[in-house]
Amino acid sequence: MSGNFDAVDIIRTKRDKGTLSDEQIDWTIDAYTRGIIADEQMSALNMAILLNGMSRPEISRWTAAMIASGERMDFSALGKATADKHSTGGVGDKITLPLAALVAVFGVAVPQLSGRGLGHTGGTLDKLESIPGWQASLSNEQMMNQLSDVGAVICAAGSGLAPADKKLYALRDVTGTVESIPLIASSIMSKKIAEGTGSLVLDVKVGSGAFMKDEESARELAETMVALGKDAGVNTVALLTNMETPLGLTAGNAIEVAESVEVLAGGGPEDVVELTVRLAEEMLACAGIHDADPAAALQDGRAMDVWKRMISAQGGDLDAALPVAKESEMIYAPADGVLVGLDALSVGVAAWRLGAGRARKEDVVQAGAGVRMHAKPGAMVRAGEPLMTLLTDTPEKFARAHDALADAVVIASEGARPAQQLIIDRIS
Ligand code: URA
């Protein structure tokens, strides 16, 4: 590691809106990973970055230093193109499940390293772990074998990828420094670039249920990540997509798997199908395939075939029933009219409080818990009609879930139209 710097000087530089040199950044990331920079110093630096930002070259170097802190995977031995998708996180976002299988139909390998959920947005691994027998942890060799045989794998990211980010993200989580575009962009992209994919499609969510509540910040995050990807030689594009209302009709774990299987069987909610197909088209185009018809592969069973092989390869029992919550309670429409709002954050918090998510890393999630919706914005509803079913194994959780949903539903007079546009923009 070049140079030997003083952490306090580095903090002062960012505090005073200065620019860090490449050597200072390399030293900072390496010294923090090795325990030479203390947590309190890194917290101060993170806060200075959150308040004063970083230049594009600084973000790029910060990302490269985090990649260099660990291993970098290499799929070139597969002999086929690789493509991956990353979502910045939303409510009811189960798209990775049908998407990985769908893209693999066209001969593009999908190494989808995923995480567990924390807070109101669910984690892909939590959802898949509701399938009896399914295993999230694979060795690099098992992952390569599955990519070669099946073409798609969704598994836990090993601890060897960008270890600096792991330590830094945990610190940001407890110091109010998550919400910084340079830090979010470098955190996500360091992991995705280290993962070794050739192409990457980013689904950057905008709205109440997303990290980025407004379009302007989501756009800035998307542009920053696309630039980082391209700098690293990864074909990267981003879609800005709506997260004012949940995706599909389910937010939870097993209920989201069931909905994904409906999509793979050629059915499922329109918005989930639309986004799955669009992201598949983008991933395939990034990987050089422009004439594929992913919608047809959902209809004719080809994506379902890959899904079954992908789940069985990781021990999942396709014949076993998915877990069902022991208890349920209904929420009814308070009036006649058009459902114009069903707030994503409220539904996400309710699902989380019902047991579908965790408050601390060590919490165990309930496979059957969550919220099943019976209407989407745009639907006509009648007073007293069921709008949502709350699901949990622990009925004492219902009260807090009802609290979360107190202002979630907006019903307007007939003729009103919800302002809904699923795909807001594309950034490349
Ligand atoms: N997800 C990440 O991986 N990192 C962040 O900083 C925020 C979301």
Ligand 1 proximity of 169 Cβ (cutoff 6 Å)? yes
Q: Does domain 327-412 have CATH number 3.30.420.40?
A: no
Please identify which of the residues 26, 84, 126, 165 carries the catalytic annotation.
165
> Active site includes 191?
yes
Per-residue pLDDT of 32-50, as tens digits, reads 999 999 999 999 999 999 9
State how beta strands 199-206 and 235-242 pair: parallel
Q: Which of 114, 186, 187, 208 is catalytic?
A: 187
- Best residue among 120, 178, 200 to mutate for probing ligand 1's pocket (most ligand atoms within 8 Å of CB) is 178
pLDDT on residue 235: 96
Counting beta carbons within 10 angstroms of the beta carbon of residue 214, is it exposed (0 to 12), middle (13 to 18) or buried (19 or more)?
A: exposed
Q: Which pLDDT score is estimated for 419? A: 67
Measuring from atom 6 of ligand 1, which residue has the nearest CA?
Answer: 184
- In short, whether 184's Cβ falls inside 6 Å of ligand 1 is yes
Is residue 187 annotated as a catalytic residue, yes or no? yes
Percent of the chain with pLDDT over 70: 99
Give SS3 for 150: coil
- Taking the centre of ligand 1 as the mean of its atom positions, its distance from the CA of residue 187, in whole angstroms, is 5
In 218-368, where do the E strands start and end? 235-242, 250-252, 327-332, 337-342
Q: Which of 184, 195, 202 to mutate to test the pocket of ligand 1 (most atoms within 8 A of CB)?
A: 184
Please pick, among 14, 61, 85, 172, the residue that the annotation labels catalytic: 172
pLDDT < 70 stretches in the chain? 1-3, 118, 419
Report d(CA 265, CA 303) in Å as an integer.
8
Domain with CATH 3.90.1170.30 in the chain: 327-412
Which amino acid residue places its CA nearest to atom 7 of ligand 1? 184
pLDDT for res 220: 97
pLDDT at 116: 81
Give first-to-last CA distance, the chain, whole Å. Answer: 34
Looking at the chain, the domain(s) classified CATH 3.40.1030.10 span 76-313
pLDDT at 198: 95
- Residue 157's pLDDT is 86
Q: Separation of 387 CA from ligand 1 center, angstroms?
A: 32
Task: Tell me the two tokens of residue 267.
Answer: 């059915």
Q: How far is CA 314 from the centre of its chain?
A: 21
- pLDDT the model gives residue 105: 98
- Contact yes or no for 373/250 (Cβ under 8 A): yes
What is the domain class of 76-313 according to CATH? alpha beta
Q: Is 165 one of the annotated active-site residues of the chain?
A: yes
Is 187 touching ligand 1 by the criterion CB < 6 Å? yes
3-class state of residue 280 by DSSP: helix
> What is the model's pLDDT at position 122?
75
- Residue in this structure with the two tokens 């990290």, named with its chain if needed: 211
Please give the Cα distance from 221 to 212 (Å, whole number): 9
- Choose one of 166, 169, 172, 212 to mutate for the ligand 1 pocket test, by most ligand atoms within 8 angstroms of C-beta: 169
What pLDDT is attached to residue 3? 61
Give the list of residues 6+ apart from residue 423 with CB closer than 8 angstroms, or none.
Answer: 239, 240, 241, 242, 274, 275, 278
Q: Give, in order, the Cα–Cα distances in Å from 197 to each of 86, 187, 225, 235, 423.
A: 11, 16, 15, 9, 24
- Span 113-167, pLDDT tens digits: 988 876 777 789 999 999 999 999 999 899 999 999 999 999 998 888 999 999 9
pLDDT digits (tens, 9 = 90+) for 382-421: 999 999 999 999 999 999 999 999 999 999 987 777 767 9
